[in-house]
Structure 1
């Protein structure tokens, strides 16, 4: 996984070069934005992953035209979002991430989330647990393995002061009426609810950290938006379950859109 961490970091370095310029924005058929940074990040990550694990296919947002018939039998594969939070990237508020997940039998086995503007890395796998390392660029020059990274990183969930508030993290760009209703339901028994706004997969990272208690996502997402974050949340002892059936999110479906879900500590 260390090479995948390096790929996320290198993609982040190139993303930040573009972030600091005036960028052109294209729009896909679904009207979601696309920048040269998305394409550059995709290219860097896919090239690195194919060198590391030549037999593992890559399913990326910027390469998602692979047919279901072709990918239905995949066992190990990479699930990649070159930039999660492109809208936040365009707004230049820093709340965007690079997401790489190792999927095994259509379940998140390990996840990497790097927030380039915040220079913070999140990592999680079933064997080692979940970790975060801030000011990550300062560590890169002397790290050569995953073991070394985990020795330097802080294990999650982090130690936070107890609070009498219920902390709900919500999307900065996609706050639906259903999410508002969830928050109001929490308040109905007199509980004090604090709403935290965040963009991209950072919302799932806040759950893994223990900085938030719930992340209701009652609005559209795709599998590459959540694979890495779910791996990190679950490695930290949390859950990411569908809103109706209360089952873990399924991956590599024929339709790559996620159902509504609720992440919790």
Structure 2
């Protein structure tokens, strides 16, 4: 499965960079979030690969979901696709946008890839652990390095932007002896935790499952965890929620080397 993910992500990343370098128009979806031609091209490429290799596994993809095209995944394994996470970074010409593909089984992200085409790096997670991939100018993988979370230090490094944070984030950073705080866009925050460059990422803002699933798969494969504020592992395939729309996430905290006492 990861081989398909890699092919799909690299091809989608190439299409994204072509739009990125040529210039692009920006439209607004119904929720007023931005979308570009790159999002649409990348999603089409990824879904084509998934439908060809895994025709019986449904895929929930961000742009299709925005258009109301959502398959029934109740009680089923499925894919989650965010073809261009960090569209605002893309529009502002910051290179931290990513391609995200994940496979969900029993509510758990067990396989995932996060590819940052403008940075030439990707991260994968699966049953064999987590890896960082280096991608050359021809969109080939030039090297693979196994990664893992680091042991939790006495003074934590967090991934959160103080300039865009809220009171809950500030309280969390104060309560957990955070000595440094680094800002980075998109799902790369999960990946920095996975490769041992930070310790915690608190998210007290709204996200959707396709925003987090691929990075979460990488983090879990590297030995980390993503917990809701009541200590439960973040679950996927959340439909029929009374308090929010389908596939919306609650607030969560990602941990690197923390030894959690997570409840299922």
Distance 1:221 1:56, change over 3 A: same
Q: 1:166 aligns with which of 147, 156, 165?
A: 156
In the aligned structure 1, how far is the partner of 2:250 from the partner of 2:88?
Answer: 21
Offset of residue 132 of structure 1: 0.2
Matched, 1:253 2:253: no
Offset of residue 250 of structure 1: 1.3
Offset of residue 175 of structure 1: 2.6
- Name the structure with the higher helix share: 1
Contact 2:60 2:70 in 1 (8 A): no
Question: Unaligned 5+ residue runs, structure 2?
Answer: 240-245, 257-264
Where 1:101 maps in the other structure, the secondary structure is strand
Q: 2:194 aligns with which of 197, 205, 208?
A: 208
Offset of residue 123 of structure 1: 0.3
- Residue in structure 2 matched with residue 58 of structure 1 by the alignment: 59
Q: What's the CA shift string for 1:68-103, capped at 9, x where partnerless?
A: 7x22132x2211000011111111110110000011
In the aligned structure 1, how far is the partner of 2:224 from the partner of 2:149?
Answer: 13
Contact 1:173 1:199 in 2 (8 A): no
- Residue in structure 2 matched with residue 233 of structure 1 by the alignment: 219
Contact 1:124 1:131 in 2 (8 A): yes
Matched, 1:129 2:129: yes
Q: 1:179 aligns with which of 169, 180, 187?
A: 169
Contact 2:162 2:181 in 1 (8 A): no
Offset of residue 29 of structure 1: 1.4
In the aligned structure 2, how far is the partner of 1:159 from the partner of 1:182?
Answer: 20
Q: 2:73 aligns with which of 66, 71, 74?
A: 71
In the aligned structure 1, how far is the partner of 2:70 from the partner of 2:35?
Answer: 22
Give the ranges of 4+ consecutive aligned residues of structure 1 lying more than 6 Å apart after TM superposition.
none
TM-score (norm 2): 0.87
Question: 1:135-174 to 2 correspondence within 5 Å?
Answer: 136-137=135-136, 141=140, 152-157=143-148, 165-171=155-161
Where 1:103 maps in the other structure, the secondary structure is strand
Offset of residue 239 of structure 1: 0.7
Q: How many aligned residue pairs are there?
A: 247
Offset of residue 166 of structure 1: 1.6
Offset of residue 184 of structure 1: 2.1
Distance 1:234 1:56, change over 3 A: same
- Residue in structure 1 matched with residue 255 of structure 2 by the alignment: 264
Distance 1:173 1:85, change over 3 A: farther
Q: What's the CA shift string for 1:49-75, capped at 9, x where partnerless?
A: 10011111111111112457x22132x
Q: 1:218 aligns with which of 185, 199, 204?
A: 204
Q: Which is worse superposed, 176-185 or 48-57? A: 176-185
TM-score (norm 1): 0.86
Instruction: Kindly report the root-mean-square deviation, in angstroms, between the aligned alpha carbons of the 2 structures.
Output: 2.2
Distance 1:80 1:171, change over 3 A: farther
